[in-house]
Amino acid sequence: MTATALPAPRSGVEATRPATAGRAPRSENRAGWLFATPFLALYLAFLIGPVVIGLVISLFNTTTVRAGVGSWVGLSNYADVLTNADFWASMWHSALFTLLTTPILVLLPLLFAVLVSRMSRNQWFFRLAFFAPYVVPSAAVCLIFAFMYTPETGLITNAFGWFGLTAPDFFGSTSGAWFAVVLLTVWWTFGFNFILYTAALQEISEEVYEAATLDGAGPWQQIRMITIPLLRPTIGLVLILQVLSSLKVFDQIYILLTGGPNYTTRPVIQYIFDTGFSAYRGGYAAAATMVYFVVLVVVSVAWFLVRRRSNSADA
């Protein structure tokens, strides 16, 4: 399903175009660039520029206590990063967070989206209710949850007591801290994936279901044989978006736990922040960022290759 596979239709609309079909006239081209200029300027200033600067200072002993890039150190920042146990520990924490949250955040919204789509009325209410938390800023979410996780007096801590359970130590123990941050993240970001699924579900034509009903397929069969296969591209999209956003985790863990207890939940972005900002080591932190960037690129490319293969297998 790629654009190149389509033969150029010789319809009436196309025929009225100038001879070089598919290519915009020069004036239109220039206008296009002009319209894109504000975006390109910002993109250069705030994305490409910083990446290039980051790449350069990762080769220098740049610090935040001195002006300029500092002394040339070659690749030694990279060598230091790659052999630093704290860096790899924080990489693992980001990966662990991804492993903990991705399955829940891919499957649970799918389940709820399918269920909601089968309701005959008041769907808007559920869409609103599920999506609303997503628009709350991370700082507000974290402060509210910190309040509820407070030992002795917090709502969630007490809720464990209602079922005769003892609440884990949400701030003092590693497992409790992970539980706290995963629960918060699921509640907070659930709605985004839910909306993606809901949009995809609306794309599926009613006629397919009608035909299935006529053929005698029950609701469960319809979900299994029609809804899920037709949602597959969306599930793939949600999966990769979720993996990438989980790997980028920072806000929740930083605000709720500051990476504690004893750095056992510190994600790699906080490690970069800590070394670059608190410990003044800009060059080293830039090198760590580049290593992390490469990992993200590898994940994205791997996903792209897997998808391309599965698409060509479908064809």
Partner 1 sequence: MTGLSRRQFLAAGGGLSVAAALSACASPIATSFSGGQPRTADVIFWHLFGGGDGENMATMLETFRESSGLSVESSLLSWGNPFYTKLALSTSSGRPPDVTVAHLSRVPLLAQAGLLEPVADQFAAAGITEDEFTPAAWEKATVDGTTYAVPLDTHPFVLYYNTALAEQAGLLDETGENLKPMRNSDDFVAALQTMKDSTGNEYAAVASITVDPSTCWRLFLMTYSGLAGPIVEDLGTRVTIDRAAMEESFAFLQGLTGERGLMPRTATATTSSTLFSNGEVGFLFDGVWQIPTYRDVEGLDFNVVPFPALLGPEPVAYADSHALVVPASPGRPAERTENAVRFVRGLLDQSSTWADGGHVPAWLPVQESEEFLALEPQSNYTEAAFDAVYDPPGWYTGAGSDFQTAMGSVVASVLTGATDPAGGVDALTSSLQTFSTARPPV
* CA-closest candidate to residue 247, choices 84, 82, 87, 97: 97
What string marks each residue from 78 to 117 as x (binds partner 1 by CB under 8 A) or -? Answer: --x---xxx-------------------------------
Taking the complex as a whole, how short is the minimal distance between the CB of residue 246 and partner 1, in angstroms? 25
Asked if 19 interacts with partner 1 (CB under 8 A), we say no
Can you state the percent helix, strand and coil of the chain, rounding each to 5?
75, 0, 25
Asked if 284 interacts with partner 1 (CB under 8 A), we say yes
Main-chain phi, psi angles of 269, to 5 degrees: -65, -35
Which of 29, 37, 64, 213: binder of partner 1 (CB under 8 A)?
64
Taking the least distance from each CB to partner 1, the nearer of 246 and 281 is 281
Asked if 279 interacts with partner 1 (CB under 8 A), we say yes
Taking the complex as a whole, how short is the minimal distance between the CB of residue 137 and partner 1, in angstroms? 18
Residues 253-272 that bind partner 1 (CB under 8 A): 260-263
Residues 198-257 that bind partner 1 (CB under 8 A): none
Taking the least distance from each CB to partner 1, the nearer of 64 and 123 is 64
Whether the upstream peptide bond of residue 133 has omega within 30° of 0, thus cis, is no
Taking the least distance from each CB to partner 1, the nearer of 66 and 224 is 66
Q: 152: alpha, beta or left, given left = phi > 0 and alpha = psi -120 to 50?
A: left
**Rounded distance, CA 177 to CA 168, Å?**
8
Residues 161-190 that bind partner 1 (CB under 8 A): 171-172
The Cα angle at residue 179 between residues 173 and 183, in degrees rounded to 5: 150
Q: 282: alpha, beta or left, given left = phi > 0 and alpha = psi -120 to 50?
A: alpha
**Rounded distance, CA 65 to CA 277, Å?**
10
Q: Which residues pair with 60 in a beta bridge?
A: 72
Q: Total residues at the site for partner 1 (CB under 8 A)? A: 27
Taking the complex as a whole, how short is the minimal distance between the CB of residue 256 and partner 1, in angstroms? 12
Taking the least distance from each CB to partner 1, the nearer of 62 and 246 is 62
Taking the least distance from each CB to partner 1, the nearer of 77 and 198 is 77
Tokens matching residue 87? 């860096």
* CA-closest candidate to residue 267, choices 281, 282, 246, 287: 246
Taking the complex as a whole, how short is the minimal distance between the CB of residue 43 and partner 1, in angstroms? 22
Residues in contact with partner 1 by the rule CB under 8 A: 61, 63-67, 73, 76-77, 80, 84-86, 151, 171-172, 260-263, 274, 277-281, 284
